[in-house]
Amino acid sequence: MEITGGWMIYLFGCVGGVAVELLRWWKLRESLEFPVFVRKPTYWILTILMILLGGVVAIAYGMEKSTAILSMNLGASAPARTRRNRRGAGSPFLAGSPRR
């Protein structure tokens, strides 16, 4: 599906970010203990910010014309790449960034 306009691209990017969070919760369903961090407001604030970042990444890729699946994929990549950075893999947004 082809989409145009910054708001639609942003929206589908955010949908991609939500999909990553849903996948995380799907994996947690098999956990024996419910995570303690879920009760902390910091977790929910960061989760919302990561979803919004997904929309920003989709817009940064281009605002004129896109497909829904591309915008969702870009939106999903933002939280996944940020999670990768926390593990010390360098910045995925900078070509040739050194690993630590």
CA distance 15 to 17: 5
The tens digit of pLDDT for each residue in 29-84 reads 877 787 888 889 998 999 999 999 999 999 998 878 888 999 999 999 887 666 66
Strand, coil or helix: what is 89?
A: coil
Count the neighbouring beta carbons within 10 Å of the beta carbon of residue 78.
26
The rounded distance, in Å, linking the Cα atoms of 10 and 91 is: 22
Answer yes or no: is pLDDT of 96 > 60.
no
For residue 24, the model assigns a pLDDT of 85
Amino acid at 8: M
